[in-house]
Structure 1
């Protein structure tokens, strides 16, 4: 194999077959798999986080899976530093690195040179004065607005993690986060959101699927998880790790940190809180059914969010260099080899050899890009919601929910006038 090894990144919504393709590529090219999933880095909850099975992991070397205890905090910088070392070692040893996962900021940290190397927020004793990490998100946002108004405009008032990160950068460096970003964005190959590509030979394979088919597939997958023992997994995890939190002085459980934020755990919280006797009653069965329905709902919603992120960050950006991205249709699993495996092999082979790729990369969607207004805050008075960036704002205005709220408001105003 030549020295022109690309960094292969497999993207796609949950349920599109990323694990399957990653195994095929690793076997075909003698590569190794690097996980990019913020929940799969934790031990436990193997079913709900859809980890590759033990059998699948034995078929090809896997990295960045099951490396943390459930209670440990892990920043994107920690992930990036560990994963990059693995990737660089693989390339040095002529082994194809295959990155697969659905955590957006993990993947971006590998593909692009992140401007400020502080990662996601993690509490550092002595950096934040007066125990500010304990304050409500809205109050922290007001503090940031007073200290760094430009940065505050870019962050949603409820995004406590990023607000704390900006405050920490300010206290640590004695300079505003926004000023540091502006200075670094003026560097060569940088953009408004990051530096240039870290690996010039990187490529992206986007697994796509018809939305109706994917929704059905995701619902079926939840049912399959239940058959595999999902409830037992959740109950055991709840007993081992969550019961202690419940018995602590905290009045409310925090589902925003570590593995506790994984989709599927908090959805079953009302059921898990019942004692064993009540779980078998009608009330228990009702809460279980609600948990299952909620899991299916949030999983479908998460899949749509993942696809919007890929389209926005890779195809709709005109302000930064992006790696070539190729679309692979996974809608018909009976034609997987023809529509997915064969094409993926040919794409990767062409990038390794440096030859011409017969498969066209996906075109950019520059007409939908909002590269120059990422720091614009919009407030929808009708829906009582805040949106950061023109892309999210435009998407909200076109949404069915927003239009219904507008119509409802008009009807109420008309009724008030008539009265």
Structure 2
């Protein structure tokens, strides 16, 4: 492969997947072969320190090819945002392309990757203000005040300023309720209106604006969940063998006077908060109690890592595989379940895919064919009057209908079932509800 790219377009390779599937390994191998450079899109790896716990690539691995966006933010900085990352990473990517190199974006922070792949009206409109520490501090102060209100009051306020978005959100989804209120506060127009403008942009879609790099492709590393769980547990054991506890203790001593906030900065890292009780055990703590706290931290770290892997997998499915849109890059699945088959199952297909993309050809295998498609781009909202619950999403709604708790409440009030069934029959929106109407006479809204 020539060191200089022949295409005039702007190719970009993005490597996604759950933690432990080998994203960094593949990025290094591909960047070495194609004379590329790696751009990390990991919100914890931008911070200096805690190299083991944030799973940074080693110094030896970084010599194989240039790496960027790793270990350059002070650990006590809590105002570094996705907008800061985007503002630094985009010029860096452009520089890599101008030098005739191929950028490989690799990471597990979903919103960092989204910020690079898509242009969004919200971040475009607020990037100047949001890049300043003062504005970030103001936003967080606003969030703190909103958190004091409780979900009911947050929902009521969102209904006033953005009833369309409120209708799509669960009344107890505090994070998104606050987001909706802050968008209105920052921009002056409803969040739903911004999303609609994104959808109407040339090349835009229901979840974002147009692609920044139309020639980008996504390599998705996936693995059997049971096998991945075992691998992740083994990786935690390996991290401990490499000096994880010593790293945490050194970091803890160095920043002992700092106020730890596990919702901010590097202190959000999986692993730091899990060992908090162990690191803060009293000096007179017995050996037995100390060992108990240590084992508790190890098990908590393993559990949190497995949960995070599932969250990453869910994001890939929701963002790339189950929402057919016109502004999605092609996604190619690579089975990383068996490390002994890495060359054949991952590396060789990945090389073939990248070569095809560089030559302007369409690779044969796409991950879009590997997952069932969900042709609904908008989550449906359902009211269950029997259980006094609001359910968001058709799949969740049907799962609720099959639950023992729901059937129990239905049996307790058969009269209400009959009355609600009659209400549906006379509903002027009956044609819309027909496809959504569940069994047993429940109504959906």
Hey, what's the Cα distance between the residues in 2 that align with 1:168 and 1:123? 12
In structure 2, which of residues 6, 19, 22 is the aligned counterpart of residue 2 of structure 1? 6
Task: Look up the SS of the partner of 1:167 in the other structure.
Answer: helix
Matched, 1:275 2:286: no
1:352 CA displacement? 0.9
1:186 CA displacement? 2.1
1:403 CA displacement? 4.6
1:8 CA displacement? 0.3
RMSD: 3.3
TM-score by length of 1: 0.83
Hey, what's the Cα distance between the residues in 1 that align with 2:22 and 2:231? 11
Residues 43-82 of structure 1: CA deviation (Å, up to 9, x unaligned)? 1211111111111122211111112122332222221221
1:366 CA displacement? 8.2
Pairwise mapping of residues 302-341 of structure 1 onto structure 2 (< 5 A)? 302-341=308-347
Whether the aligned pair in 2 keeps the contact of 1:115 and 1:185 (CA below 8 Å) is no
Hey, what's the Cα distance between the residues in 2 that align with 1:329 and 1:126? 41
Structure 1, gaps ≥5 residues long: 247-253, 414-419
- Aligned twin of 1:249: none
1:156 CA displacement? 5.7
Whether the aligned pair in 1 keeps the contact of 2:15 and 2:220 (CA below 8 Å) is yes
- Aligned twin of 2:49: 44
Which deviates more, 311-320 or 341-350?
311-320
Pairwise mapping of residues 219-368 of structure 1 onto structure 2 (< 5 A)? 219-241=233-255, 243-245=257-259, 254-278=261-285, 281-355=287-361, 357=363, 359-364=364-369, 368=373
1:155 CA displacement? 5.0
Distance of aligned partners of 1:129 and 1:28 in 2 relative to their CA distance in 1, 3 Å threshold: closer
- Aligned twin of 2:117: 111
Distance of aligned partners of 1:68 and 1:193 in 2 relative to their CA distance in 1, 3 Å threshold: same
Whether the aligned pair in 2 keeps the contact of 1:5 and 1:351 (CA below 8 Å) is no
Distance of aligned partners of 1:53 and 1:380 in 2 relative to their CA distance in 1, 3 Å threshold: farther
Matched, 1:174 2:180: no
Hey, what's the Cα distance between the residues in 2 that align with 1:229 and 1:380? 54
In structure 2, which of residues 77, 80, 85 is the aligned counterpart of residue 79 of structure 1? 85
Distance of aligned partners of 1:131 and 1:9 in 2 relative to their CA distance in 1, 3 Å threshold: closer
TM-score by length of 2: 0.79
Distance of aligned partners of 1:129 and 1:264 in 2 relative to their CA distance in 1, 3 Å threshold: closer
1:288 CA displacement? 1.3
Distance of aligned partners of 1:218 and 1:161 in 2 relative to their CA distance in 1, 3 Å threshold: same
Structure 2, gaps ≥5 residues long: 413-445
Hey, what's the Cα distance between the residues in 2 that align with 1:215 and 1:176? 41
Q: RCO greater where, 1 or 2, for CA within 8 Å and sep 6 or more?
A: 1
Matched, 1:190 2:190: no
Hey, what's the Cα distance between the residues in 2 that align with 1:188 and 1:31? 31
